[in-house]
């Protein structure tokens, strides 16, 4: 694991590849499976540079798609002050199902270098169950 990686997780999701991608990029439904997210909104299909507005803990925030391989992988990047967090979702066909992986990297400015491990641990604690929640949501969706 890279020194800036907070955590990596993988889940086998028992839905089709196409369905998993559609659910992953259904921003309106993200609060169902993204811990701490109260509301998420973006207009249109995912594209590089797209801004995705969301509310978490009563605070308005914005994520940006900073890497995109349509129907294969996408990275959502959020910045707050001296901390940047990258959520990289990757999908891989596994028979009739899909294996979804999430790698979360946290980059801190030099001013916070002494707190980097603590910040990464906090992110891992907050978001470590995200893929399990996505799996439950995806498999229960009509």
* pLDDT the model gives residue 1: 54
Residue 131: pLDDT over 70: yes
Confidence class for position 110, pLDDT limits 50, 70, 90: confident
* pLDDT the model gives residue 2: 58
* pLDDT the model gives residue 125: 95
Residues contacting 95, CB < 8 A, separation 6+: none
pLDDT tens across 45-98, in order? 999 999 999 999 899 999 999 999 998 999 999 998 899 999 999 999 999 999
- Domains identified in the chain, total number: 1
CATH number at residue 44: 3.30.530.20
Q: Are 14 and 2 in contact (CB under 8 A)?
A: no
Q: Are 127 and 104 in contact (CB under 8 A)?
A: yes
Average pLDDT over residues 39-43: 95
Average pLDDT over residues 101-124: 93
* Residue range of the domain that includes 100: 5-140
């Amino acid at each position: 694991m890279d020194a800036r990686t907070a955590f990596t997780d993988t889940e086998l999701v028992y839905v089709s590849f196409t369905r998993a991608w559609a659910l992953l990029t259904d921003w309106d439904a993200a609060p169902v499976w993204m811990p701490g997210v109260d509301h998420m909104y973006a207009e249109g299909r995912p594209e590089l540079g797209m801004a995705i507005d969301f509310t978490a803990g009563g605070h308005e925030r914005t994520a940006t798609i900073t890497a995109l391989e349509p129907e294969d992988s996408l990275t959502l990047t959020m910045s707050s002050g001296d901390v940047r967090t990258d959520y990289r979702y990757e999908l891989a066909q596994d028979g009739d199902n899909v294996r979804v992986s999430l790698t979360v990297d946290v980059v801190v400015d030099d001013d916070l270098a002494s707190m980097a491990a603590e910040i990464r641990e906090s992110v891992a604690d907050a978001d470590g169950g995200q893929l399990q929640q996505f799996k439950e949501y995806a498999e229960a969706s009509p």
